[in-house]
Amino acid sequence: MKISVRDMTLISLFTVLSIVGAKISLPVLAIPFTFQFIISLLTGIVLGGHRALLAQGLYLFMGLIGLPVFAKGGGIAYIFEPSFGYLIGMALGAGLVGFIADKLDPQRAGLKRWQLLPVNFLALAIVYSLGVTYLFVIKNFYTGSSLTLVKAFQFGMIPFLLNDSIYCVIAAMIGPRLRNVRSTWPR
């Protein structure tokens, strides 16, 4: 896949937006409230599948090599943070949203809000599936804490469900317009 300068610029822009979204953080229990999830949805909608994966992958790479881009810093040891599974889920969710958006609207001319809403909630299900599972595994097998799967859902999903559902709706509302704007930028 050949990447143009325009695409590199957009990938970099959405990587920076992911960093900013992580830094606007409200720590709650083991998982902080951030704007990363809505940024990951918009990354997929605007950039499409491949470029969204590149943007989110670059973000993860930057954090894992030690740049303090994650909500709680960075470095390879971050893989042992209970919240790291959510970051993987957001990268995969962004890619999924992008691939489906590209299938539904290959010409970038008319993606509908009602089409995006279930796709966004599917991405949310991926984020929670990976995030809660990772939280459960890290707490039980790395930190030695005893955390039941029910408690993992209570700590890692329930407090964030309303907020993330609102993000799904907002991204479905503004995403198609941003996607159309991107299609008119000069090549």
Residue 36 has what pLDDT?
94
Rounded Cα distance between 110 and 170, Å, is 17
How would you write the pLDDT of the chain (187 residues) with one tens digit per residue?
688 898 999 999 999 999 999 998 777 665 667 899 999 999 999 999 999 999 999 999 999 999 999 988 999 999 999 999 999 999 999 999 999 999 999 888 888 999 999 999 999 999 999 999 999 999 998 888 889 999 999 999 998 999 999 999 999 999 999 988 765 555 5
Q: For residue 1, what pLDDT is reported?
A: 66
Look up the domain containing 123 and give its range: 5-184
Q: CATH code at 162?
A: 1.10.1760.20
Alpha-carbon gap, residue 11 to 59, rounded angstroms: 10
CA 187, distance to chain mean position in Å, is 26
Gyration radius from the chain CA atoms: 16
pTM, two decimal places = 0.92
**Which of 104, 91, 69 minimizes the C-alpha distance to 175?**
104
The residues that bridge with 73 in the sheet, in sequence order, are: 70
Compute the distance between CA of residue 74 and CA of residue 119 in angstroms, rounded to an integer: 30
**Residue 26, Cβ density class (10 Å: 0-12 exposed, 13-18 middle, ≥19 buried):** exposed
Q: Please provide residue 28's backbone torsions phi and psi, each rounded to the nearest 5 degrees.
A: -135, 120
Residue 24: predicted pLDDT? 87
Count of structural domains, the chain: 1
**Is residue 115 packed enough to be buried (19+ CB in 10 Å), middle (13-18) or exposed (0-12)?**
middle
On whether the CB atoms of residues 135 and 83 are closer than 8 A, the answer is yes
Q: What is the pLDDT of residue 185?
A: 57
The residues near 128 (Cβ < 8 Å, ≥ 6 apart) are 89, 156, 157
